Structure 1
Amino acid sequence: MELEDQWWKGQLAADIYQALRYKELKLPSYKGQSPQLNLRRYFADLIATVSNRFKLCPAARHLAVYLLDLFMDRYDVTVQQLHMVSLSCLLLASKFEDREDRVPKLETLNNLGCMSSMNLVLTKQGLLHMELLLLETFQWNLYLPTAAHFIEYYLSTATQEGDLHDGWPMTCLEKTKLYMAKYADYFLEVSLQDHVFLCFTPSLVAASCVAASRVILHLTPTWPPRLQRLTSYTWENLVHCAEKLLLRRTRRSSVPATRPP
């Protein structure tokens, strides 16, 4: 979204955050009506796998999955075509969100081990055609906030002196911050696994990732006043989404993604 690196630390952080909050209110509607919805987890995992292979930023990965969700919601295409759509969404998102030198190259993509299992060979013309179709579908607007765009802003004050751990003062704030970032990133990825999280605004999902992380870390109060002021969400606003994240944490490793036939 062409935001400067670590924008949440800059003088314009509050203004950028408010612009993102305003933009998320205008996101396209999602109905969850794709005939291939049962395969959605598989393709989200595919995007995550390729994204990790090229060390793309979380914003690119989350935007790619969101583009895929919106496309699947509007079009009934074959499973084979969805492989091409998924990778095209990732390429488009990486060009929009990440550094140019990290954008996957065609030859490198075709050399990935997973490509043979998909029985897919990408061509420059095919990718350009698909990217153009995607851009036209979204009216050339990829300025679409996701939970990944909010998480760092919330993490900046997610843990502070004065928070209690199991009712006692924290022994090491820096260590707690590291664990907080680790768990928040984990829950952020959990939110990609299920389209149910699309019924929440991205900022609420990000805030719920922080709240769920504080629950796991036994930090109290669970949702301190400073986070309520920063996010404009109360614990009552977050509890439904946070509970879904915590529930899926216990099920994520035991439920494999459905593979296409």
Structure 2
Amino acid sequence: MSRQGYGAYTRSQGILAEPNGQPAQTSNRGLPLQKGKRKEDDAKTVQTLAGAKKGRSAFGDITNTRREGQLDYLPAEKVQELSKKYGIPYKIIAKKRVSTEQQKQSQGGDTLPSSSVRSVQAEEEASAQPEYIDIDSVDADNELACTDYVHSIMEHLFTSERKRRPLASYMSTVQQDIHANMRGILVDWLVEVALEYKLVSDTLFLAISYIDRFLSLQIVPRQQLQLVGVSCMLLAAKYEEIYAPQVEEFCYITDNTYSRKDILGMEDCVLDALHFELTVPTPRLFLRRFLKASAADWPTCGIWQSEQEYLAAYITELSLPEYTALQWLPSLIAAAAVLVARYTCYAAIPALRSLPVWSPTLVHYTRYRASELRTCALALHSFYVCAGSKVMNSLPAIQEKYAQPKYKCVSAIHPPSRLPEAIFADNQ
């Protein structure tokens, strides 16, 4: 039986099992037909739900009847069609249509006078007209997008990123034998390890987060710094990868400097120090959400859309070897990277120059105004400029990684010479 389980399979086939194990008779909507005095009530329920959208929950259609104010009252295709026709963001269209339909139902289905409809629409537009685009309405029918609770997920991530942060000053307050340059060399080497074993970027970001949190708590001699790195990479791979590398492969990648016992012993120390709290948001996690908002805001970007995404990922990853980047929250680094990537595309594509570099849509989903990104964005831009210089770049692993064709060779894109102050204005 597949991962979805027997219950989900029987529901998808319109079969519900009786207590004795025999299939139960069901209606054409997948609801069980009750026996006895509830048979007539069940028929009314089936008739009421005949036009309702097929639900996602384990309880069938019962929890998915139409609710007042529900924004996915219209199909996603209809919402997009209306949005294109009237040039209004998705959420405004959905609210106006829901309001009109509810008023029709309250008067027995009679059509409201045209003057009343116009006044209602005018009040809707004047009182609650959001300036941002609803980026989730286009995925209303995509269960993998989790549009029903994506806002709760993001709320949790924005809260939890402040709880499990490394100390931004641990090199001077905790460590005695290592310094920031050693950390940068270790991160640069771990980027090569991730490439060698084809690990996803989330594994790399998570491993470095474990390293920084561990170094914020425990004094580590320089002879064991690489051991801490491979042990944290092993932990992150177990967390993120489908097929994590074996311990022996990490022994091999260190030229057998450390034995299997050494790596597993350090892994145990890291877990104890972190209290097994391994779930932590990284800049890579926030970046996916912010890039979706950026794509909705710049639909004319066209063929440059994938380049913008890889460029933002490249700029975000350039922050990993930099010890000074620990002073910023992961969400702030991701938002600033999107800003720098957008301005790089903005300067290269004339069609984009009539659009704002940082829009209300991005303010809404990133929770940062352009002025709040200034310090971090300027620092990321300096990392970007240094990475493209053969003289100034002493840690080339990330630059070489994003020079590959599968990343659209974005590290070869010349960075803008500077970021103008105008892009940090809140009213663009």
TM-score by length of 2: 0.52
Residue 384 (structure 2) pairs with residue 256 (structure 1): no
Asked if the contact 2:318/2:384 (under 8 Å) is kept, the reply is yes
2:233 aligned with 1:105: no
1:165-201 CA-partner distances (Å, limit 9, x unpaired): xxxxx4x52x121011110110111110202111111
- Report whether the alignment pairs 1:25 with 2:162: yes
- In structure 1, what is the Cα distance between the partners aligned to 2:278 and 2:197? 21
Query: What's 1:42 paired with?
Result: 185
Q: Which residue of 2 aligns with 1:96?
A: 239
Is 1:138 matched up with 2:285? no
> Helix, strand or coil for the counterpart of 2:170?
coil
For the residues of structure 1 that align with 2:304 and 2:154, how far apart are their CA atoms?
25
After TM superposition, the runs of 4+ consecutive aligned structure 1 residues lying more than 6 A away are none
2:207 and 2:298 mapped to 1: Cα distance? 38
Residues 79 and 157 of structure 1, relative CA distance in 2, 3 Å threshold? same
Q: Residues 133, 110 of structure 1: CA spacing in aligned structure 2 closer, same or farther, 3 A cutoff?
A: closer
Q: In the alignment, is residue 154 of structure 1 matched against residue 279 of structure 2?
A: no
Give the CA deviation at 1:29.
4.4
Partners of 1:104 and 1:82 lie apart in 2 by 20
Does structure 1 conserve the Cα–Cα contact (< 8 Å) formed by 2:336 and 2:376? yes
Of 349, 367, 372 in structure 2, the residue corresponding to residue 237 of structure 1 is: 372
Do the aligned residues in 1 keep the contact of 2:166 with 2:212 (CA within 8 Å)? Answer: no
SS in 2 for 1:222: coil
Q: Partner of 1:197 in structure 2?
A: 325
Q: Which has the higher contact order (CA 8 A, sep 6+)?
A: 1
* Cα distance in structure 2, aligned partners of 1:29 and 1:159: 32
Is the CA contact 1:211–1:223 (under 8 Å) kept in the aligned structure 2?
yes
1:182 aligns with 2:310: yes
Root mean square deviation of aligned Cα: 2.2
Rg comparison, structure with higher value: 2
Do structure 1's residue 87 and structure 2's residue 230 form an aligned pair?
A: yes
Identify the residue that residue 16 of structure 1 maps to in structure 2: 153
Consecutive unaligned residues in structure 1, runs of 5 or more? 1-5, 164-169
Report if the CA contact (8 A) 1:187-1:245 is conserved. Answer: yes
Mapping 1:49-128, distance limit 5 Å? 49-99=192-242, 101=243, 103-112=244-253, 115-116=254-255, 120-123=257-260, 125-128=261-264
Q: Does the CA-based 8 Å contact 1:106-1:122 persist in structure 2? A: no
1:74 CA drift (Å): 2.9
Flag the 1:184–1:239 CA change in 2: closer, same or farther, 3 A: same
Closer/same/farther in 2, CA of residues 232 and 111 from structure 1, 3 Å limit: same
Residue equivalent to 1:166: none
Measure, in 2, the Cα distance between the counterparts of 1:215 and 1:209.
Answer: 10
Query: Are 2:338 and 1:217 aligned?
Result: no
Q: Which amino acid aligns with 2:343?
A: V
Report if the CA contact (8 A) 1:8-1:152 is conserved.
no
Q: Distance in 1 between matches of 2:319 and 2:187?
A: 11
Shift of 1:223: 0.6
Q: Following TM superposition, by how much is the alpha carbon of 1:127 offset from its aligned partner in structure 2, in angstroms?
A: 1.9
1:256 corresponds to which letter in structure 2?
A: S
Name the CA shift for 1:29/1:109 in 2 (closer, same or farther; >3 Å): closer
CA distance in 1, matches of 2:280, 2:152: 17
Deviations 1:133-165 (A, max 9, x none): 0011011101121111111111112133656xx
For 1:26, what is the secondary structure of its paired residue?
coil
Whole-Å separation in 2 of the counterparts to 1:45 and 1:229 = 34
Query: Which deviates more, 207-216 or 22-31?
Result: 22-31
In structure 1, what is the Cα distance between the partners aligned to 2:143 and 2:286?
11
- Matched residues, number: 238
* Secondary structure of the structure 2 residue equivalent to 1:192: coil
Q: Secondary structure at the match of 1:180?
A: helix
TM-score (norm 1): 0.84
Query: Closer, same or farther in 2 for the Cα pair 1:8/1:53, shift >3 Å?
Result: farther
- Measured in 1, the distance between the counterparts of 2:290 and 2:220 equals 38
The equivalent of 2:8 in structure 1 is none
From the superposition, tell whether residues 126 and 179 of structure 1 become closer, same or farther in structure 2 (CA, over 3 Å): same
1:235 is displaced (CA, Å) by 0.2
Instruction: State how far apart, in whole Å, the 2-side matches of 1:8 and 1:206 are.
Output: 23
* Partner Cα distance (1:48, 1:243) in 2: 24
Structure 2 stretches lacking a partner, 5+ long: 1-141, 347-351, 397-428
Looking at structure 2, the residues matched to 21 and 238 of structure 1 have their Cα atoms a distance apart, in angstroms, of 16
State the alpha-carbon separation in 2 of the partners of residues 46 and 88 from structure 1.
Answer: 14
